[in-house]
Structure 1
Amino acid sequence: MTDELTNGAAAPQAEDQQASQFMVEKIYVKDLSFEVPNAPAVFNMDGENNLGMNMQHQITPVSDNAFEVVLHLTLNCQQGESTIYLAEVKQAGVFTLAGFDPQGVEFLLSTQAPAILYPYARQVLSDLIQAGGFPPFLLQPINFEGLYMDAMRQRAEEGAEGVNLEDAAGEPRHLDS
């Protein structure tokens, strides 16, 4: 008898799993830029390079359950006042979410979606830097969940319209990481 349940808790669990869905529909490069403004002189420069990284992500509704998430990474390599290279990528994806409350939607789009996009962006930047004549550069892993929680704490501390950590999430919006 395959229709019989041996554990009373099994049926609601199965229904919850079917009701909530998080799917990756498409992953793509939305924008890409690489500049070496002082080439070829930069290839003969001696000294220590300083690398700065800026990261942001943007969430835009596409339809009722679909959202575009764009992870924007900028790497700026400097030596003193001279720019060695500037590399930027906007790695994007379309994600479909169903069966989540608004807080769950924001959490997933602010943590899981960027975590899925990041390895793609990291690879694109690494390949771009190497193709530009520089040694390969590997960006370290990022804890997007930790960044999200830090942003929620900061928002709560700033008293953003009575927001607290328990209900800090709301409708999907543009967030900086």
Structure 2
Amino acid sequence: MAEQDNTPVFQIQRMYLKDLSLEQPNSPAILLEQQQPQVDINLAMAAASIQDGVFEVTVTATVTTKVGERTLFLIEAKQAGIFEIRNVPQEQLQGILSIVCPQMIYPYLRAIVSDVCTRAGFPPILLTEVNFQAMFEAQQAQQAQQAQ
């Protein structure tokens, strides 16, 4: 029985849309503009323990499109997942929370952003694939450099 208690556990408890915002502050006038908008996309990730062995991981996309200095539209979407992760070595836990979980959440976030653009009357914005491993490694290197 003691062996079963030490068996690593990784389960998705739930995936859900945590927050969604669409703003078109300069409509309808800006919708008549013929210029190609500039698109700025920012991604953020967060992980928090919500109880022993259970974590919430979120991936947030902020998409800002502008024509000149005026905002055409702004979308902020936060997709989240609740994961049960137990009996995993501490040195592996951060990688799971920063790489594996976001990779599972991100396709849902991509679909939401594309759908919201379309429903708002714009061509869909397709978020590119993200290498969460490279992001994690860059973050670790930056933290190590700041520690020195």
Q: Same fold (TM over 0.5)?
A: yes
Q: CA deviation at 1:20?
A: 1.6
Task: State how 1:1-177 maps to structure 2 within 5 Å.
Answer: 19-159=7-147
Structure 1 CA distance, aligned partners of 2:25 and 2:120? 11
Superposed structure 1 runs of 4+ greater than 2 Å apart: none
Q: TM-score, normalised by structure 2?
A: 0.92
2:33 is matched by which residue type in structure 1? M
Secondary structure, aligned partner of 1:137 = coil
> Which consecutive residues of structure 1, in runs of 5 or more, have no partner in the other structure?
1-14, 161-177
Distance 1:36 1:103 in 2: 44
Equivalent-residue separation in structure 2 for 1:104 and 1:25 (angstroms): 20
**TM-score if structure 1 supplies the norm length?**
0.78
Once the two structures are TM-superposed, the CA of residue 81 in structure 1 deviates from its matched residue by 0.5
**1:66 partner amino acid:** V
Task: Give me the whole-angstrom Cα distance separating, in 2, the residues matched to 1:102 and 1:80.
Answer: 48
CA distance in structure 2 between the partners assigned to 1:117 and 1:42 by the alignment = 33
Report how many residues are paired: 145
Separation in 2, partners of 1:103, 1:110: 12
- Displacement after TM superposition at 1:21 (Å): 2.0
For each residue in 1:108-148, what CA deviation from the matched residue of structure 2 results, as whole angstroms up to 9, or x when unmatched?
A: 00011111111101101110011000011211100001000
CA RMSD, Structure 1 to Structure 2 (Å) = 1.6
- Report the secondary structure of 2:51's partner residue: coil
Taking the aligned partners of 1:118 and 1:133, their CA distance within structure 2 comes to 23
Return the alpha-carbon distance in structure 1 between the equivalents of residues 91 and 29 of structure 2.
Answer: 51
State the shift of 1:82 in Å.
0.5
Aligned AA (1:46): Q
Sequence identity of aligned pairs in percent?
A: 32
Residues 84-126 of structure 1 deviation map (CA, whole Å, 9 limit, x = unaligned):
0000111011001112111211110001111111110110111
Whichever residue aligns with residue 89 of structure 1, its letter is: A
Please identify the structure whose Cα radius of gyration is greater. 1
User: Within 2, Cα distance between the matches of 1:21 and 1:51?
Assistant: 40
Structure that is richer in strand per residue: 2
